[in-house]
Structure 1
Amino acid sequence: MGEGELAGRHALITGGGTGIGLAIAQGLAARGAQVTITGRRGDVLDAAAADTPGLHPLVMDVAEEANVTEGCAAAIDSRGPVTICVPNAGIAEGKSIGRMDLVFWRRMMAINLDGAMLTVQACLPGMQDAGWGRVLFVSSIAGLKGLKGAPAYSASKHGMIGLMRGLSEDFMGSGLTFNALCPGYVDTDIVTRNTESIAARAGISHDQAHAMMVRTNRHKRLIRPDEVAAAALWLSLPGSDSVNGQCIEIAGGQM
């Protein structure tokens, strides 16, 4: 693959300052794209952008409609139409339905699902004008099979896949494709936080909680962020035009 294959492309990645989002941003930038990375913590975004040429930080809260509309407009004004859109920002928190309240539910949906929809909505006009676009939803294996102890999170990730499939039908044959990356447990800060949360809820040790997540991945290890990024890069490069409406499982084996 050539290093400049994405030269002239503008990519926008929500939650792009850390973890999976940052790994995808770095991969796209290495292929020549100009990449807007968004998040709520400006210092984290600035640090990420300082380390990688081609990354441009943008403070944006995906749960706030006006913030998404204005933020995406500013990025487009600066770097041109977004033709690679990666709705990645999300939270992962477990809570049984008996302990869940509507505030918790709505926060999960606002960030994970509403934020994805708003981001895509803001980027689509430029893709339509260009006649080419790639939308890569970062969902989860929880969007395919459900995750025990996390019904709200599972519902939000299932919703992303439903949104992706609906859009792939709406824009079939247009030059725009919509796919979802569905990783298992990835070695990021989210897994670190979940390890602590599971240990506290289940009354087990940190090591035992960590082992539970590792065992969930079929190959019995945590997935590296760059492994997810490799799939995103493949779907953004020439030759992926016929991959549309698909869920790409990155979980070490069949789920």
Structure 2
Amino acid sequence: MSVLKGRRAVITGGGTGIGLATAKRLAADGASTVLMGRNLERLEKAAAEIDGATAIQCDVTDQASVAAAFAKASAGGKIDILVNNAGIASGRPFHKLDYDEFRRIQNVNVDGVFHCTKAALKDLMGGDYGRVVNIASVAGLRGGPYISHYCASKHAVVGMTKALAAEWGQTKVTVNAVCPAYVETDMAENAINTIMSNTGRTREQAIAELAGMNPQKRLIQVEEVAECVFWLCHPNSFTVNGKAISLDGGAP
């Protein structure tokens, strides 16, 4: 059964990784998908893998870019689902962390969620169904060494999620966050390379360190995150609101 048939979903950072997997999962259940990101060539290649998908270039840190992209997306039909997936990360000891790097992370991970949610708000509030799913991280639920700037950004996303859910509790829109541990994506690849560079460990040892943070001793797959997003977008998930759902294999 195509439970999302007739629904239109915008996925930021939709060209690769979690974003692309999510677009495919939502489309499999009938949603019309719009993939947004900065690299149009990559987006168009990804959209070609999904029936009826549209690629729209968008820099989530730029209000004008976001406004233009969402106006274009809305022209194709009312936006019912927004997946704020665009995000970046880096590792830096706090004593070596400068303000420019701190702001770079916040601009994408926090400001981007703000800009895109504002841009989609009229559509989301304009019907009998609306879903906002923010891709946060377990770093939004607890701390970790060398990622104070990233933790700050993802804690902000979780906080915004809970606040909007409370504020919009009397509407037909739900707002939730998905908080995965390390997922096998380019972002994890960057973390692996950083560990190798800083510690001299082998690739296998670096992967084992990341996987070791998960009691299941594995990296999460993008399809697993996408499945959680789909569940939150399902019509029967309406009572789930303001939650930060941890995907971490049972970590304390």
Give the TM-score range, shorter chain.
over 0.9
Question: How many Å separate the matches in 1 of 2:69 and 2:144?
Answer: 32
1:111 is matched with which residue?
108
Runs of 4 or more consecutive aligned structure 1 residues displaced over 4 Å after TM superposition: none
Q: CA deviation at 1:160?
A: 0.2
Equivalenced residues, count: 252
Deviations 1:223-255 (Å, cap 9, x if unpaired)?
A: 110101111111111210100000111111143
Aligned pair partner of 2:238 in 233, 236, 241: 241
Question: How many Å separate the matches in 2 of 1:123 and 1:38?
Answer: 13
Deviations 1:112-169 (Å, cap 9, x if unpaired)?
A: 1100111011111111111321000000000001222100001000000000011001
Question: How many Å separate the matches in 2 of 1:69 and 1:97?
Answer: 34
Report matched runs for 1:150-189 at 5 Å.
Answer: 150-189=147-186
Question: How many Å separate the matches in 2 of 1:157 and 1:202?
Answer: 26
User: 2:8, 2:77 within 8 Å by CA — same for their partners in 1?
Assistant: yes
Give the letter for the 2:31 counterpart: A
User: 1:33, 1:54 within 8 Å by CA — same for their partners in 2?
Assistant: no
Q: Which runs of 5+ in 1 are unaligned?
A: none
Report matched runs for 1:82-97 at 5 Å.
Answer: 82-97=79-94
Normalization by structure 2: what TM-score?
Answer: 0.97
Question: How many Å separate the matches in 2 of 1:198 and 1:67?
Answer: 35
How high is the sequence identity, in percent, across the aligned residues?
39
Normalization by structure 1: what TM-score?
Answer: 0.96
1:75 is matched with which residue?
73
1:59 is matched with which residue?
57
Match of 2:34, SS state, is: strand
Question: How many Å separate the matches in 2 of 1:143 and 1:191?
Answer: 16
Aligned pair partner of 1:142 in 123, 139, 142: 139
2:17 is matched with which residue?
19
User: 1:81, 1:123 within 8 Å by CA — same for their partners in 2?
Assistant: no
